[in-house]
Amino acid sequence: MSESERKDTPEQAEFRAYCRDWLRDNHPGESPVRLPQSPIEIMTEPQLHWLQAWQKAAYDAGLVGCDYPEAVGGGGRKDCQRVANEEMLAARTPFLPNVIGLGMAAPTLFYHAQEPLKERLLPRLLSGEDIWCQGFSEPGAGSDLASVQTFAERRGDRWVINGHKVWTSLAHFAEWMILLLRTDKSHKYDGLSYFVVPIRSALGKGVTVRPLIKITGETGFNEVIFEDLEVDDSYRLDELGKGWQVAMTTLLHERGGGELVTPRSGGLTSKTSFSPTARNLRTLAQETPRGNGTAADDPLLRDRIVRQFIREEALQQNQRRSRVPALQDHPMRLQLQYKLLISELAQDTARLGVEVAGPASTLYLADEHAPTGGQWPLAYMNSYGMTIAAGTSEIQRNILGERVLGLAKSK
């Protein structure tokens, strides 16, 4: 019996057994194409289509979106997504490609959209048929998100949008975007509104998507430029001027603090893509010659590798403890730490991997002699995406200091 099973309700227990059976027979196996380290680095159509097929299969089987109501394409279950996630994790399935849709757009639609819009958009979002992206950051609005300048001008029941969004992961594959923009220039926060926008159908007709290249050489995120794009007022979420509040719902779920559990599959232990984990570090050290033995014999590296094992365990146990009210002082204290800790942990583990690999860490993806296929320097560079995107580590520390510790706002 696994750790979580002890507390399963009868519905959960039955669903868990179902998931386990289904996964045993329907695991998609190894990908025929090299997969990136996370969904936001999907670069090619073959990668995308293989992963979309997996999401669709998992959705059709009821493992994705199971806690959403049936009316919006969900499974109508209660507290079962966590069960499905645990079983997918245990089965080491590939990740779900529609990561922005599932983690950010879906809960935002759920809490802020009108019923007809939910019923129209959520089924194809949950199934992965429609990929979603997020239009929040701009060249002048990074950490200071509320200073977005993308503007929508009202013309009757329509809005005309002009502006420039950046770091929009998956925009090159996305049908839809969640879009934070300005409808009033005289108020910083209260001048913001929130829309969903069909971008794929508008490519070349008011929407331009240009790939941005990351320091790794990979693409995966984009600039999106709006030039007189017209959208209907029915695509607005919640009231005019309430965009900041809607965006908070999005960010809350992004930071793992929402009520609705995001469907997740794979991740750290997936066998289909590489992640900078302590276990992988150990394997690398044991395979790296050093002196008369291996790097795993070096007392300094042993100490540092063990530190990463401890931090990984601590993060897992933080998540476990976040569900035990008697062992917490402040309800958001552990949840709001997650993004900061996981990103810095991954960065430090990846960096240590580069050190463990030694001179061969200079070798990159296409070098036949690169340890672990050059994934360690790739992961180290990508880790800065984690500590920068979705609120830099500096912003995360502000949030924690202000919301959890009650210290004065730094801005």
Among 10, 32, 204, 299, binds a copy of itself (CB under 8 A): 299
Choose from another protein, a copy of itself, none: what does 285 bind? Cβ within 5-8 Å by kind: another protein
Residues 256, 391 contacting (CB under 8 angstroms): no
Please say which residue, 211 or 401, places its beta carbon nearer to a copy of itself.
Answer: 401
Q: How far is the CB of 409 from a copy of itself (least distance, A)?
A: 14
Among 17, 260, 315, 332, binds another protein (CB under 8 A): 315
Choose from another protein, a copy of itself, none: what does 130 bind? Cβ within 5-8 Å by kind: none
**Count of positions (residues) in the chain:** 411
Q: How far is the CB of 397 from another protein (least distance, A)?
A: 4
Region near another protein per CB under 8 A, out of 54-62, 64-72, 168-176, 216-224: 216-224
Please say which residue, 214 or 302, places its beta carbon nearer to a copy of itself.
Answer: 302
Q: Does 318 bind another protein (CB under 8 A)?
A: yes
Identify the bridge partners of residue 133 per DSSP, sorted by sequence position: 177
Residues touching a copy of itself: how many (CB under 8 A)? 3
- Closest alpha carbon to 107 in 125, 91, 84: 125
Task: Name the active-site residue from 14, 254, 287, 355.
Answer: 254
Please say which residue, 67 or 312, places its beta carbon nearer to another protein.
Answer: 312
Q: How far is the CB of 306 from a copy of itself (least distance, A)?
A: 11
Q: How far is the CB of 20 from a copy of itself (least distance, A)?
A: 44
Instruction: Encode 260-297: b = buried (16+ Cβ within 10 Å), e = exposed.
Output: bbbbbbbbbebebbbbbbbebbbebbeebeeeeebbbe
Distance CA 253, CA 264 (A): 13
In the window 121-140, what residues touch another protein (CB under 8 A)? 137, 140
Please say which residue, 249 or 347, places its beta carbon nearer to another protein.
Answer: 347
Cβ count near 148 (within 10 Å):
26
Give the three-state DSSP class for 273: coil
In the window 144-183, what residues touch another protein (CB under 8 A)? 144, 147, 166-167
Taking every pair of Cα atoms in the chain, the longest distance, rounded to a whole number of angstroms, is 77
Q: Does 300 bind a copy of itself (CB under 8 A)?
A: yes
Give yes or no: 86 in active site: no
Instruction: Encode 312-335: b = buried (16+ Cβ within 10 Å), e = exposed.
Output: beebeebeeebeeeeeeeeebbbb
Please say which residue, 27 or 302, places its beta carbon nearer to a copy of itself.
Answer: 302
Q: Phi, psi (5° rounding) for residue 78? A: -120, 125
In the window 124-143, what residues touch a copy of itself (CB under 8 A)? none
Among 40, 207, 378, 379, binds another protein (CB under 8 A): 378
Instruction: Encode 220-252: b = buried (16+ Cβ within 10 Å), e = exposed.
Output: bbbbbbbeebebeeebbbbebbbbbebbebbbb
CA 237, 241, 242, 243 torsion: positive or negative? Answer: positive
Query: Tokens in use for 363?
Result: 């070798």
Among 28, 257, 267, 401, binds another protein (CB under 8 A): 401
Please say which residue, 18 or 309, places its beta carbon nearer to another protein.
Answer: 309
Please say which residue, 303 or 329, places its beta carbon nearer to a copy of itself.
Answer: 303
Residues touching another protein: how many (CB under 8 A)? 97
Among 217, 243, 245, 379, binds another protein (CB under 8 A): 217
Distance CA 338, CA 255 (A): 7
Q: How far is the CB of 129 from a copy of itself (least distance, A)?
A: 49
Q: Which residues contact 80 (CB under 8 A, 6 or more apart)?
A: 11, 12, 15, 66, 67
Q: Does 410 bind another protein (CB under 8 A)?
A: yes
Among 56, 120, 200, 302, binds another protein (CB under 8 A): 302
Q: Does 29 bind another protein (CB under 8 A)?
A: no
> What CA–CA distances, in Å, run from 309 to 68, 162, 271, 281, 302?
35, 48, 19, 9, 11
Give the three-state DSSP class for 75: coil
Distance CA 68, CA 52 (A): 20
Q: Does 25 bind a copy of itself (CB under 8 A)?
A: no
Please say which residue, 56 or 351, places its beta carbon nearer to another protein.
Answer: 351
- Closest alpha carbon to 263 in 10, 6, 67, 57: 67
Q: How far is the CB of 314 from a copy of itself (least distance, A)?
A: 21
Q: Does 332 bind another protein (CB under 8 A)?
A: no
User: What residues line the site for a copy of itself (CB under 8 A)?
Assistant: 299-300, 303
Which residues are annotated as catalytic?
254
